[in-house]
Structure 1
Amino acid sequence: MSTPRKAIVIGAGMVGLSTAWYLQERGFEVSVLDKTGVAAGSSWGNAGWLAPAKTIPLSDSSLWSYGPKALFNADSPLHMPLRVEPKLWEFLARFMAQAFESKWDSTMADLTAIDRVALAAFDEMELGGVTGISHEGPFVIGFENEEQSRGFAREVAGVVRYGQIAEMSRLENPQELAPMLSSEVSVAYRLEGQRFIEPGPYVAAVAADVEKRGGLIRTGVEVTHVAAGARPAVILADGSREEADKVVIATGAWLPKLAREYGVKTLVQAGRGYSFSVATDIPAQHPVYLPHHRMACTPYQGRFRIAGTMEFRGPDEPLQQRRITAIVNQASRLMRGIDFAERQDEWVGSRPVTPDGRPLLGETKAKDIYVAGGHGMWGMVLGPASGKYLAELMDTGQTNPIIKPFNPLR
């Protein structure tokens, strides 16, 4: 019998752990290293949406009217601090350069193939032993008036145009499925075919199955460098060196620190999201999305998680309490039966955003060193499919057409 090939995956979020799981499916012996812990980054506090119909380019033409007014307003859903930071301004320039209909169409065309297989990858993992549960919708999409709904309708039409199914129907009574919505939300739709999870517990379930299959997960371990060679190696903060046949860098918003020297030049900017959980008078049963206010809400461990904002800052900067307050101020008007003073689980997480809205999946210039990241807001829903097709590439040397547009050397 041949000796199993060894792979080291750096990063214990959804993307890294899914890659580890699918590598095990292909016979690899896997170690996962993480500086902090399982689901310690953006995999923990997000909305947990598995919504391919909403997995779309972040940069669109509406930014030219909305962005300039909102970007430097600390209370707006989209925010960037006004300060001298060349990399941040470079990212903004490239991000805005994508805010045209033709660019949106091009990125959407590239995302559609992986969107269409995203939920099947969750099914494979759950059938294969992962004990996490993904829940069916419907999702409730709410607006204060018809005008607010037009942008969302255009996005859904774009998704359908590229071959996805996004079944929507009008709700005569928005409070029927989402009793926490106030009378300010007068227009609502029911979106079918999407799922949701409790993200932290689900990622922990993936980690548990990786370990059950013989994988090693080590937390509190900082990788300071990835060394190329006949066999790639990771260099740890204590100076020790560990070799493997393959190494995967899946460190989210921190990916450039380890990958840039191997030809991964695409900018990865922390697009920070905030969330907290609240109790509701009537238990929440369905996810709720308020697109105009960029609020994504999900049933979470008997409570209601409210997540939102896109804040371009450094990934290690502290939580900005003003951002939480801005969400509360809007939610207090749009929701009822909630004591917002009794918030729990306040959180900020750094989502890895690329300017062109495409992930980074594939081999670097260094043989047997790979990257998996840059999913922006969509790492949760695309994580398992990304791991599946990256594992296929690492095993066979062949790039599946589904991930070909996400070449990290582009």
Structure 2
Amino acid sequence: MGAGIVGLSTAWFLQERGVDVTVVDREGVGAGASWGNAGWIAPALAIPLNQPAVLRYGLASLLNPTAPLRISPKPDVGRARFLAKFASNCRHAKAREVVRANLPMNEECFEAFDVLTGNGVDVPRTETAITALFRDGRDADVLRHELADMRAEGQQIDVTELTGDALREQVPLAGPAATVGLAVENQRFVDPGRFVTALGDAVVERGASLHRFRVVDIAKHHDGVMVKGSGGEFLIAGAAVVATGAWLPGLTRRWRRTWVEAGRGYSFTVPTERPVLGPIYLPTVRVACTPYQGGLRVAGTMEFRDADDPVVPARVRAIASSAATMLDGVRWDEMRDVWVGPRPVSADGLPYIGELGDRVYVAGGHGMWGFAHGPITGRLLTEQITTGKQPEALAPFDPHRSGR
């Protein structure tokens, strides 16, 4: 259940083990957070969201409708409980725990993508640096410290500091306000929509059937499971994987409460007057920019709001306005492909990957790193499903880590 990068990767690797697969999604391939993200495969920048600085920033921005972090003012008891739990996990010790848990995923994520692109998912990937831009060295210190913390836990990170002509040679779009750059070397990016579409095509070509309906319940059925749809549809299988992103809690509550909320992100594409040589990161305004179809895809914001709510135009304008302060040569008034998608954010910064019970498995809650960790999640979960043994790398993400 779920035809985003996590669900389709799981389907693909299950097929590699000889498993017959059926994929169910309410809208089709890549309709959620998998399509409009920045397309970064950047393990060196898999920085935990649950940090004290993020909590302080979130509290300070509650009354600012244009802030990069925004919480819907609409009363919602469930979201309030999630945010309270999230706030309790915004601690340095917990952030370090998340970094350590992600290390095996980061180490294997390139290889997992290579397996897919080398076996039918024919989408080019670009190896490059991702360059973060700052007004001055003091602003850059925040990212320097975050990268140092990750490096201290064992994450391999190679950074080149840039100023002056070297900075503008690396990032021709850097505006006059940008005086310092940190180039995080040896990362990758792809066109995310193209990649997920190709992955879905590959899964179908290898024999999977794809059904479009909204799943409302999963029930035990003889020696397997029954998946029920909102229109009376049903499917029977030997096992089920719930990979529905921000909609996980509604399907997993029979076995366990999954503390996941929609952290909605926006993106749009704009033409540029200068070449875009590689991805650009604007940490102070939480914006990621990627070369895309001859222009620049601009992605940003974290909006805790109902997953199915429409685009909020003010949020889009805020992203463009904040990015424009650091970039030059961008035609902001020619914006196209405006998109919003719900990233599944977990309360403790760790995704849920593993067995729930009754032959039902879960894979989701990756937050901002679902695209980068999607293929390796699918490969590791396939190992657990087909062997009955939990891979060591999945132990921190066990869905029952906080009890049934």
Which of the five TM-score ranges fits, normalised by the shorter chain?
A: over 0.9
Q: Equivalent residue for 1:7?
A: none
Paired with 1:181 and 1:228, the residues of 2 have a C-alpha distance of 56
1:352 matches 2:344? yes
Paired with 1:239 and 1:82, the residues of 2 have a C-alpha distance of 35
Q: Equivalent residue for 2:48?
A: 57
Paired with 2:229 and 2:75, the residues of 1 have a C-alpha distance of 32
Paired with 1:159 and 1:124, the residues of 2 have a C-alpha distance of 27
Of the three residues 221, 237, 242, the one matched with 2:213 is 221
Of the three residues 318, 333, 338, the one matched with 2:325 is 333
Q: Equivalent residue for 2:243?
A: 250
Of the three residues 161, 176, 180, the one matched with 1:170 is 161
Give a deviation string over 1:42-82, Cα, whole Å, max 9, x none: 00110011000111311102134322111331111111022
Q: Secondary structure at the match of 1:62?
A: helix
Q: Secondary structure at the match of 1:276?
A: strand
1:259 matches 2:258? no
Q: Secondary structure at the match of 1:45?
A: coil
Contact 2:248 2:258 in 1 (8 A): no
Give the number of aligned pairs: 398
Q: Secondary structure at the match of 2:272?
A: coil
Give a deviation string over 1:161-180, Cα, whole Å, max 9, x none: 12221100111332212111
1:384 matches 2:375? yes
Give a deviation string over 1:94-120, Cα, whole Å, max 9, x none: 111111111111121111121111111
Contact 1:362 1:372 in 2 (8 A): yes
Q: Equivalent residue for 2:148?
A: 157
Amino acid at match of 2:207: G
Q: Secondary structure at the match of 1:331?
A: helix
Q: Equivalent residue for 1:180?
A: 173
Percentage of matched positions with identical amino acids: 40
Q: Secondary structure at the match of 2:311?
A: coil
Contact 2:262 2:345 in 1 (8 A): yes
Larger deviation, residues 141-150 vs 386-395: 141-150
Paired with 1:397 and 1:362, the residues of 2 have a C-alpha distance of 10
Q: Equivalent residue for 1:95?
A: 86
Map 1:223-372 onto structure 2 (within 5 A): 223-229=215-221, 230-263=223-256, 265-365=257-357, 367-372=358-363
Q: Secondary structure at the match of 1:165?
A: coil
Paired with 2:38 and 2:62, the residues of 1 have a C-alpha distance of 22
User: Considering only aligned residues, what root-mean-square deviation do their CA atoms show, in Å?
Assistant: 1.2
TM-score, with structure 1 as normaliser: 0.95
Paired with 1:82 and 1:241, the residues of 2 have a C-alpha distance of 37
Paired with 2:48 and 2:330, the residues of 1 have a C-alpha distance of 33
Amino acid at match of 2:384: L
Paired with 2:90 and 2:135, the residues of 1 have a C-alpha distance of 25
Larger deviation, residues 145-154 vs 40-49: 145-154
Paired with 1:64 and 1:321, the residues of 2 have a C-alpha distance of 25
Amino acid at match of 2:227: V
Amino acid at match of 1:181: A
TM-score, with structure 2 as normaliser: 0.96
Paired with 1:107 and 1:222, the residues of 2 have a C-alpha distance of 32
Contact 2:44 2:184 in 1 (8 A): no
Paired with 2:189 and 2:62, the residues of 1 have a C-alpha distance of 29
Larger deviation, residues 167-176 vs 11-20: 167-176
Contact 1:72 1:80 in 2 (8 A): no
Q: Secondary structure at the match of 2:284?
A: helix
